A and B are shown apart, each in its own frame.
Chain A
Amino acid sequence: MEISQGRVQKQNNEMNETITKDVDKISVKIHDENTVNQKQVMIDTLAKFIDKIGKILPCDVMRALKKLRSEEEQPMAQVIYDSMFDNLDMACSLNRPACQDTGVIQFFVKVGTRFPLIDDIEEILNEAVVKATADAPLRHNVVETFDEKNTGTNTGKRAPYIDYELVSNSDSIEVEVYMAGGGCTLPGAAKVLMPSAGYEAIIEFVFDIMTSYGLNACPPLLVGIGVATSVETAAQLSKKALFRPIGSRNENEKAAELELKLEKGLNDLKLGPQGLTGSASVMGVHIENGGRHPSTIGVAVNVGCWAHRRGNITINSDMTYTTNSHMGVEL
């Protein structure tokens, strides 16, 4: 009896184990399916968002352009502003990218450490680019270096570019999408100055770029300046400066004051739209700064063209989203 009882107990245990394993398998399967579904939802949302930002400019950029247009006094510059606004209307009504150069897509993500798809971000962003390339459509812009072949998908080695920041105790993700054409990428420059050259040399560096390459970069420009310790720290900050809402100010009082002085100084050059002279030159100047080595001043400049196609979207853990840069735009 005891033996038989023991056998039954053993059988029960075995059965329970099997059931538990099966339940585990089912729950893993459901989890996988959820993840797959969520991934597809996020890919679709981002693909639609990339598509949109190529066609509709962010609210702050529109405000800045409207102000510049209303204050423009030169007849030729007015003709150019008319073309720009006609073009934006048509991009919207015909559902086409406002500028043909839809860039090599760059993503700057702030991802919550508890965001459910944290392991799949690179794959999701890549697939969103492939999908947007076909749907929008975007121009095929990724050329593999050395092989010198266009991939035709806007993806390739280290493209799209992805920059990550981790956010503790968050289960959402904020994605900044940036679509810069070649024209406004070309003026980008960074260098490391000796402290004896001082901030005076930064002023000269910015102005030299603006009166040379800046003319061809489709002004009125948004100017991003990074001040830190080395080329890459300054360069990264100069790019991030372009994502601040136009007219927002650096939290450091002196840097904020310099932003305003540079705006005035650059506008006094009167480069005008397309660098063909006019009443102003820039949509704004943003400085982002970081600590420096006592022996160096790293400085970098990045500019955004008038068709400053950036977008900021927050995606929550349940895949609901908010388009922060494009209020009222439906995906």
Chain B
Amino acid sequence: MKKKYLSTPITNEDLKDITAGDIVYLNGYLVTCRDVAHRRLIEYGRKLPVNIEGGAIFHAGPIVRPIEGEENKFEMVSIGPTTSMRMEKFEKEFIKETGVKLVIGKGGMGLKTQEACKEYKALHAVFPGGCAVLAATQVEEIEDAQWMDLGMPETLWVCRVKEFGPLIISIDTHGNNLFEENKVVFNQRKEKIVNELQQEVRYIK
């Protein structure tokens, strides 16, 4: 597996040689963006207070703490991905509206996001869940924070990152969706295993 790199701002050209299953590292800016921020943009039509065209978002709600002696400056303590599927309802329109090029989270995303990634040229990638200190050490600085009224997990934290990864590409711009492909295999295996196990649990006689 060859290490690949992406830097923001990301262009369509940067994405064309990346395929599902590749491992990528990110340099530049990464903005946390999850449930309520998606809802505000799509359902309530509010403008996102951070420009993420050509940028990257992270489905994540971090632990941050104020830096003593500095006003409105925060240190990234712990930041890992949250379940991306929760944003499936909004992500296609979100990608279209914002021009975001890299969506990072945990677990797979569905057909609509897959369509958006192909149509508007974007990627979905997985950062290993639960590895939040590893990720925090790859954040050089929190440069800005918006929509702080949403509380610590849901605030848009604008992070400058260095070699942020491993990012395992789950949806590419060519229509591949790693999780959906894996699911087909898992379900085939499941059918056989469940049938066999069911023969062994006839306890009610």
Point out residues on A near B: beta carbons under 8 Å.
Answer: 75-76, 79-80, 83-84, 86-87, 90-91, 94, 96-102, 137-141, 143, 149-150, 152, 181-183, 186, 195, 198-200, 202-204, 207, 211, 215-218, 254, 258, 261-262, 265, 268-271, 273-277, 305-307
Total interface residues on B, CB under 8 Å, equals: 56
21 A-B residue pairs with CB within 8 Å: A75-B1, A91-B133, A96-B63, A97-B133, A101-B82, A150-B150, A182-B83, A198-B203, A199-B203, A200-B198, A203-B194, A203-B198, A204-B194, A207-B190, A217-B83, A268-B193, A274-B107, A274-B126, A276-B170, A277-B185, A306-B130
Given the known interface contacts A97-B77, A101-B80, A183-B82, the answer about A84 and B130 at a Cβ–Cβ threshold of 8 Å is yes
> In the complex, what residues of B have CB within 8 A of residue A94's CB?
133, 137
- Per the bound structure, the CA–CA distance linking A305 and B132 in Å amounts to 14
Q: Within 8 Å of chain A (Cβ to Cβ): is B153? A: yes
- Per the bound structure, the CA–CA distance linking A101 and B202 in Å amounts to 40
> In the complex, what residues of B have CB within 8 A of residue A207's CB?
190, 193-194
In the complex the two chains form, is A84's CB within 8 Å of B131's CB? yes
Proximity string of chain B (102-120) to chain A, C-beta cutoff 8 Å, 1 when within and 0 when not = 0000111000000000000
- Per the bound structure, the CA–CA distance linking A281 and B166 in Å amounts to 21
Pick the contact of B168: A100, A149, A203, A276 (CB < 8 A): A276
In the complex the two chains form, is B77's CB within 8 Å of A96's CB? yes
In the complex the two chains form, is B129's CB within 8 Å of A305's CB? yes
> In the complex, what residues of B have CB within 8 A of residue A149's CB?
151
> In the complex, what residues of B have CB within 8 A of residue A204's CB?
194, 198
In the complex the two chains form, is B197's CB within 8 Å of A262's CB? yes
| Main secondary structure on B side of the interface with A | mixed
- Per the bound structure, the CA–CA distance linking A80 and B132 in Å amounts to 13
Proximity string of chain B (141-163) to chain A, C-beta cutoff 8 Å, 1 when within and 0 when not = 00000000011111000000000
> In the complex, what residues of A have CB within 8 A of residue B154's CB?
150
- Per the bound structure, the CA–CA distance linking A254 and B151 in Å amounts to 48
In the complex the two chains form, is B1's CB within 8 Å of A276's CB? no
> In the complex, what residues of B have CB within 8 A of residue A265's CB?
193-194, 196-197
For B21, B82, B132, B203, the residue with the greatest tally of chain A CB atoms inside 10 Å of its CB is B132
- Chain B's closest residue to A138 (CB) is B63
- Per the bound structure, the CA–CA distance linking A162 and B196 in Å amounts to 40
- Per the bound structure, the CA–CA distance linking A76 and B23 in Å amounts to 9
Pick the contact of A270: B80, B133, B151, B189 (CB < 8 A): B189
Q: Within 8 Å of chain A (Cβ to Cβ): is B178? A: yes
> In the complex, what residues of B have CB within 8 A of residue A102's CB?
63
Q: Within 8 Å of chain A (Cβ to Cβ): is B52? A: no
Smallest distance from the beta carbon of B43 to chain A beta carbons, Å?
14
Pick the contact of B84: A216, A254, A270 (CB < 8 A): A216
**17 additional contacts, CB 8 Å, given A99-B80, A137-B65, A215-B186?**
A76-B23, A79-B23, A79-B166, A96-B78, A100-B62, A139-B61, A140-B152, A152-B152, A182-B83, A183-B82, A186-B83, A200-B198, A207-B194, A258-B201, A265-B193, A265-B197, A274-B128
> In the complex, what residues of B have CB within 8 A of residue A87's CB?
128, 130-134
- Chain B's closest residue to A86 (CB) is B134
In the complex the two chains form, is A83's CB within 8 Å of B63's CB? no
- Per the bound structure, the CA–CA distance linking A262 and B198 in Å amounts to 11
In the complex the two chains form, is B131's CB within 8 Å of A83's CB? yes
- Chain B's closest residue to A211 (CB) is B186
> In the complex, what residues of A have CB within 8 A of residue B82's CB?
101, 182-183
In the complex the two chains form, is B62's CB within 8 Å of A80's CB? no
Proximity string of chain B (46-75) to chain A, C-beta cutoff 8 Å, 1 when within and 0 when not = 000000000000001111010000000000
In the complex the two chains form, is A198's CB within 8 Å of B202's CB? yes
In the complex the two chains form, is B108's CB within 8 Å of A215's CB? yes
